[in-house]
């Protein structure tokens, strides 16, 4: 879940079909040349080149493909031509990593600003064993999705929110970060370059994983001298293929995910390694995941390993307030607005474990699951079950409302959808 990042990428690897494709690189005058198959250089084209061309991302790739008979053609979304899709079993994509064709990379030195990035073939990256991210965990990640609509349009959901969250995290982790515009541009480029990996409508989405890391070498504890911003993508299936399925959570009373003044409120990589122990123990006992309590009073709800949590009582929907120990989820924020627009009363505040056990309904939110109904909670050996087999009316209603928006099925009255072609 991303909520569910771990689940998204915990699975199998598809064989990389990228090897079938040819490299491309811009040449003078806006014409894009096809390079011979044996070319092993990495850089495809730079953002600078793209800006010079003053073409839309899609037009850029279309030009390339029109001029090159040997290339795999990209679809023309607005035309009647059927989109060209990767040759995989779209009904069984699951949530494992499927390597795609291209990734985006941009670097800068400490004290400088990111300025120029480029697409490269998807593949392994080289790091010094002394890289800041490997030794001291100076790293952040993000997660968002692109959807393909029936009319061929490709949609992003609030990508600027991910950009802002990355910038907030970078400030906490002493890293330079791309501007919101740079982030969104890079996301668009990464999606368009890998367009054939976006699942057909209704079959899933293209999961987009931006990373920001201290890639320069350090030995003593200090911010790294160099930083890398990288985006890779992978198609993922719909989290719930046959209707919403409830999860069973256990409240963790010994270990904590975050502490006041720590880094729980940012998406830094160490927060995720830190929850593996409690999560693995919970899974071994048959639970889906762990729900954390605050580390001071041990009675207020925080969040699940990679999802935010909501409790429903009558017409009131409550979720723990953001106070530095909880990740400000973009799905959380969106669900609060959607619920409000549907006439629910919503509250961000301290929510006690007693209220949780007394709720009519409980659900989690995150990019992967969107809304995940909770079927049962176990706290100090006491198990409480919710609703009709755990899928409450409110969870179902909010899930349908938000996924319809994200997939372009419902009218976007909120202004949250970004079309990228
Ligand atoms: C710890 C944590 N909480 C909540 C979320 C949900 O955030 P979002 O809705 O932005 O995916 C995530 C996933 O990113 C997460 O890792």
Active site residues: 267
Give yes or no for residue 332 CB within 6 A of ligand 1: yes
SS3 344: coil
Pick the CATH number of 247-406 from 3.20.10.10, 3.30.930.10, 3.30.1330.10, 3.90.1150.10: 3.20.10.10
Query: Is 61's pLDDT higher than 50?
Result: no
Q: Confidence class of residue 46 from pLDDT cuts 50, 70 and 90?
A: very low
Query: What's the pTM?
Result: 0.84
Whole-number Å distance, alpha carbon 365 to ligand 1 midpoint, is: 8
Q: Whose CA is nearest to atom 15 of ligand 1?
A: 306
Q: Which residues contact 361 (CB under 8 A, 6 or more apart)?
A: 311, 312, 373, 374, 386, 387, 392, 393, 394, 395
Give yes or no for residue 364 CB within 6 A of ligand 1: no
Q: Which of 329, 363, 369, 416 to mutate to test the pocket of ligand 1 (most atoms within 8 A of CB)?
A: 329
Q: Of 80-84, 182-186, 284-288, 340-344, where does mean pLDDT reach its minimum?
A: 80-84
What does R_g of the chain's alpha carbons equal in angstroms? 22
Q: In the prediction, which pLDDT does 244 show?
A: 83
Whole-number Å distance, alpha carbon 227 to ligand 1 midpoint, is: 23
Mean pLDDT of the 349-367 span: 97
- Domain boundaries of the chain, sorted by first residue: 7-236, 247-406
Tens of pLDDT, residue by residue over 230-271, are 999 999 998 776 668 899 999 999 999 999 999 999 999 999
Whole-number Å distance, alpha carbon 308 to ligand 1 midpoint, is: 6
Q: Specify the higher pLDDT residue, 97 or 48.
A: 97
Query: Is 66's pLDDT higher than 70?
Result: no
Q: What are phi and psi of 401, to 5 degrees?
A: -65, -45
Q: What are phi and psi of 113, to 5 degrees?
A: -110, 150
Tens of pLDDT, residue by residue over 374-391, are 999 999 999 999 976 668
Percent of the chain surpassing pLDDT 90: 76
Kindly give the pairing relationship between strand 345-349 and strand 308-313.
unpaired
Q: In the prediction, which pLDDT does 421 show?
A: 83
Tens of pLDDT, residue by residue over 307-324, are 999 999 999 999 999 999
- CATH architecture of residue range(s) 7-236: 2-Layer Sandwich (3.30)
DSSP annotation of 300 reads B
């Amino acid at each position: 879940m991303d909520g569910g990042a771990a689940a998204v990428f915990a699975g199998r690897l598809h064989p990389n079909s990228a090897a079938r494709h040819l490299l491309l690189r811009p040449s003078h005058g806006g014409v894009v040349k096809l390079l011979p198959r044996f070319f092993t250089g990495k850089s495809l084209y730079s953002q600078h080149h793209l800006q010079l061309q003053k073409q839309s991302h899609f037009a850029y790739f279309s030009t390339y493909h029109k001029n090159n008979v040997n290339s795999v053609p990209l679809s023309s979304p607005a035309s009647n031509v059927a989109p060209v899709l990767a040759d995989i079993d779209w009904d069984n994509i699951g949530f494992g990593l499927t390597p795609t064709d291209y990734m985006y990379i941009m670097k800068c030195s400490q004290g400088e600003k990111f300025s120029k990035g480029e697409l490269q073939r998807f593949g392994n990256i080289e790091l010094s064993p002394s890289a800041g991210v490997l030794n001291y965990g100076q790293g952040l990640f993000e997660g968002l999705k692109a959807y393909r609509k029936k009319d061929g349009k490709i949609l992003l959901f609030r990508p600027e929110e991910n950009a802002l969250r990355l910038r907030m995290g970078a400030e906490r982790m002493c890293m330079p970060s791309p501007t919101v515009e740079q982030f969104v541009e890079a996301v668009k480029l990464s999606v368009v370059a890998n367009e054939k990996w976006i699942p057909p409508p209704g079959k899933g989405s293209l999961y987009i994983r931006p990373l920001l890391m201290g890639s320069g070498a350090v030995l003593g504890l200090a911010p790294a001298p160099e930083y890398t911003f990288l985006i890779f993508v992978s198609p993922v299936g719909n989290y719930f293929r046959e209707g919403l399925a409830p999860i069973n959570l256990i409240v963790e009373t010994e270990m904590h995910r975050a502490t006041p003044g720590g880094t729980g409120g940012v998406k830094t990589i160490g927060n995720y390694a830190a929850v593996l122990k409690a999560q693995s123990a919970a899974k071994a006992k048959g639970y889906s995941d762990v729900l954390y309590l605050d580390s001071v009073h041990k009675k207020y709800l925080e969040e699940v390993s990679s999802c935010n949590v909501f409790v429903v009582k009558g017409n009131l929907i409550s979720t723990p307030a953001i106070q530095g120990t909880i990740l400000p989820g973009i799905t959380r924020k969106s669900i609060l607005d959607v619920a409000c627009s549907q006439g629910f009363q919503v509250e961000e505040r301290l929510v006690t474990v007693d209220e949780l056990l007394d709720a009519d309904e409980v659900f989690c939110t995150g990019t992967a699951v969107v809304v995940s109904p909770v079927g049962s909670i176990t706290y100090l050996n006491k198990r409480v079950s919710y609703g009709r087999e755990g899928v409450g009316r409110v969870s179902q209603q909010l899930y349908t409302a938000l996924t319809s928006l994200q997939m372009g099925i419902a009218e976007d009255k909120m202004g949250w959808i970004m079309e990228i072609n």
